[in-house]
Amino acid sequence: MTRYFCLDEPEVFDLETAVVGAEPGRVLLDRSPFYPGGGGQLADRGRLQWSGGEVALTGFETLGDGIWHLLAEPVLPSGAVVAQVDRPFRQLMRELHTDLHIVNALVYQGFDGALVTGVQMNEDGTARIDFDLPEADNERLRGLEGAINDVIRQDLPVRETYVTEEEAFDEPGLIRSRSVTPPPTADGRIRVVEIAGLDRQACGGTHLAATGASRPVRILKIDNKGRHNRRLRIGLEGV
């Protein structure tokens, strides 16, 4: 896992940086404040400003060690640029991502250590999370809505740490996904996201600093997807 700038500096939305590689319509930046997507979290949106103009970003492409920033026009920025993260969009992703950790924690604790089989956040303020839950009662799952919003109201701090791969696999429940283990950083570490007093799990996305920064959550739908998978769809109130 690349140790993205945004994971260490999640509150920096405008970053002065420099173009270190450019082709018409795409650039490599010296430092980038953007989350390029992954783990079910959508890539950031944003803009670049430089002395010659400004342009919106349309996406990211990882090639080798570099992340190309794809531009909405075939321009060729150079030199110093200001990279600007779309704050409301990042906030939406941070809320959904943190809320999915809460759902995940409550399902893991209340349903015999059920593991996650898939996750996706959406730009309309909804998200889905799939669990390997062959026997669960959907009404009991629906009943988690109150507990999710209790955790939000408690405004629990969300912290991150890094552990070694060995520690990650030794700690029960830290690797919560049935299919994907977050890849280690270049120095062999796994990032752990902790909701104080509730949950610790390996993850490589962006989260809120505390649960209280999320809007309330509704459980919109619960579907059976195949014999084993249960899909919970959640939505933020007021989005």
Binding site for Zn ion (CB under 5 A): 203, 205
Element (H, E) at 87: helix 87-110
Minimum distance, C-beta of residue 193 to Zn ion, in the bound complex (Å): 5
The Cα-based distances of 90 to 17, 18, 155, 185 in angstroms read 20, 22, 19, 23
Complex with Zn ion: residue 107 or 203, whichever CB lies closer: 203
**Taking CB positions, which residue lies at the least distance from Zn ion?**
203
C-beta of residue 211 within 8 angstroms of C-beta of residue 154 = yes
Minimum distance, C-beta of residue 234 to Zn ion, in the bound complex (Å): 14
Minimum distance, C-beta of residue 177 to Zn ion, in the bound complex (Å): 10
Minimum distance, C-beta of residue 100 to Zn ion, in the bound complex (Å): 7
Radius of gyration of the chain (CA): 19
Q: Which of 58, 47, 57 is nearest to 15 (CA)?
A: 47
Residue 63, helix vs strand vs coil: strand
Minimum distance, C-beta of residue 27 to Zn ion, in the bound complex (Å): 28
Complex with Zn ion: residue 84 or 95, whichever CB lies closer: 95
Q: Which of 56, 67, 64 is nearest to 19 (CA)?
A: 67
Complex with Zn ion: residue 77 or 205, whichever CB lies closer: 205
C-beta of residue 19 within 8 angstroms of C-beta of residue 27 = yes
Task: Please state, in angstroms and rounded to a whole number, the distance separating the CA atoms of residues 167 and 172.
Answer: 10
Complex with Zn ion: residue 97 or 231, whichever CB lies closer: 97
Exposed e or buried b for every residue in 70-105, given b needs 16+ CB within 10 A?
ebeeebebeeebebbbbeeebbbbbbbbbbbbbbbb
Minimum distance, C-beta of residue 29 to Zn ion, in the bound complex (Å): 24
Complex with Zn ion: residue 68 or 95, whichever CB lies closer: 95
Interstrand relation of 229-236 and 217-225 (parallel, antiparallel or unpaired): antiparallel
Complex with Zn ion: residue 38 or 235, whichever CB lies closer: 38
Complex with Zn ion: residue 76 or 196, whichever CB lies closer: 196
Minimum distance, C-beta of residue 207 to Zn ion, in the bound complex (Å): 6
Q: Which of 49, 26, 46 is nearest to 35 (CA)?
A: 46
